[in-house]
Amino acid sequence: MAPATTDTPIRIGMRAGWAFAAIWLFYLGENLNALLKHPAGMWRDVGLAALALFAITYVLLVSTMRRPRNGLGYPPSQLHIGIGLLVMLAFAVLQLPAAGQHVLTCAVYIAATAVMGLRLRAGLAVAVTIAIAVEVAIRVVPEWRTTSQGYALAVVLAAAATWGMRLAFERQGRLIQAQNELAELAVADERSRIAGDLHDILGHSLTVVAVKAELAQRLLDVDLDRARAELADLESLARDALADVRATALNMRGISLPGEIAAAKAALAAANVKADLPGAADDVPTRNRELFAWTIREAVTNIVRHSRARHAEVRLSPDSVEILDDGQGGALAAGSGQGLAGLRRRADERGARLTAGQRGDRPGFRVRVEVPS
């Protein structure tokens, strides 16, 4: 939806648009008083009926300008608003024989409605035209010259006030629209985050499950007891993965650095990769532990899935974690893997630096995350 502009007809965002319009009917009391004082007869009856219909038309026309905000239908078109203004003008003219100069009060309502509902330039043009017409009528009709001063100014002031209200409503509409767009972006970002987390969790868990399943299949004819142990590990891994997925969907998932070190040891052993892992993570500050845990998880998943490595090493310090292998992980150096992309996003969120690419000292792949001190 395009943002509202000052050339766009305003749609009042109040929950009771009819009440907003009806409040201002108080000023028609002057017309009503003049009509009631007029001698009984046809013009008095016509004037009273026209006054009632004028008020109803005004309330209906203004209240329909708020419909899109409350889902009650489509707003009136410019043609419908124009017809409504002409109907109001006709009812005002019908009051003239009995109400006299007091009918000029209706001009204020017509001008305000035009500025509120028509495109801004058209509404202002109508308001200016009405103000000029009122001033001319006062000067042309002799008995109005002394009793009707100020009506033209009232039309101008009403149009100016309505213009200010219109601008305020439009700014409020743009603000609400911006808030809705931000909410939609937040939902999209959260969905993307959850999707990335699910990819990381399932990518790691299913890789280990696949490796252990292959190992268990090979051990069935060689070492039945060890095959049973591997199958038991498979069941445990599957349950843990299911729990992680459920917790992630509920935004309750946690990840621990010691747990990922232990999981890396099991995964690398199952893939027949010799590993040098840190024995503890006590020196790592709490603020860095989750990021380092994700780094180890993703790097170990890549080693098991892609590298064909025979040896891997995890180096851990308070402000950095580095995973090295001697395999063939060069295809991931460009960051094309979805897991590494998610890891890079996490690193960027914490102001950390992620390096992923070929090792400089020997064949193999290197993943390093460093957090500024």
State which of 29-33, 120-124, 273-277 shows the largest mean pLDDT: 273-277
Contact (Cβ atoms closer than 8 angstroms) between residue 203 and residue 267:
no
Q: How far apart are CA 289 and CA 313, in angstroms?
A: 18
Q: What is the pTM of this model?
A: 0.46
Q: Mean pLDDT over residues 329-343, rounded? A: 59
Question: 236-270: per-residue pLDDT in tens?
Answer: 777 767 766 666 665 555 577 877 888 888 888 88
Indicate if the pLDDT at residue 315 is higher than 80.
yes
> Within its chain, how far is the Cα of 362 from the centroid?
49
Each domain of the chain, given as residue ranges in start order, spans 17-149, 189-370
> Within its chain, how far is the Cα of 198 from the centroid?
24
Q: Between 230 and 67, name the one with better pLDDT.
A: 230
Indicate if the pLDDT at residue 23 is higher than 90.
no
Please state which of the four CATH numbers 3.30.565.10, 1.10.10.10, 2.60.120.650, 3.30.70.940 is assigned to the domain occupying 189-370: 3.30.565.10
Q: Between 44 and 337, name the one with better pLDDT.
A: 44
pLDDT at 12: 41
Q: Mean pLDDT over residues 328-354, rounded? A: 72
Q: How far apart are the first and last CA of the chain?
A: 45
Question: 171-228: per-residue pLDDT in tens?
Answer: 887 888 888 888 888 777 767 766 766 676 677 677 778 888 888 888 888 888 888 8
Burial of 235 per CB tally in 10 Å (0-12, 13-18, 19+): exposed
pLDDT at 71: 42
State which of 123-137, 196-210, 278-292 shows the largest mean pLDDT: 123-137
Name the nearest CA neighbour of 166 among 129, 107, 114. Answer: 114
Name the nearest CA neighbour of 354 among 368, 340, 338. Answer: 368
Q: Which amino acid is at 346?
A: R
Q: How far apart are CA 240 and CA 201, in angstroms?
A: 10
Q: How far is CA 310 from CA 62, 149, 214, 328, in A?
A: 78, 99, 17, 10
Question: 77-119: per-residue pLDDT in tens?
Answer: 788 888 888 999 999 889 888 888 888 888 888 988 888 888 8
Burial of 49 per CB tally in 10 Å (0-12, 13-18, 19+): middle
Indicate if the pLDDT at residue 156 is higher than 50.
yes
Q: How far apart are CA 232 and CA 209, in angstroms?
A: 11
Mean residue pLDDT across the chain = 79
Which residues 6+ apart lie within 8 Å of 76 measured at CB? 61, 64, 65, 84, 117
DSSP run (H or E) holding 277: none
Contact (Cβ atoms closer than 8 angstroms) between residue 237 and residue 208:
yes
Q: Mean pLDDT over residues 298-312, rounded? A: 87
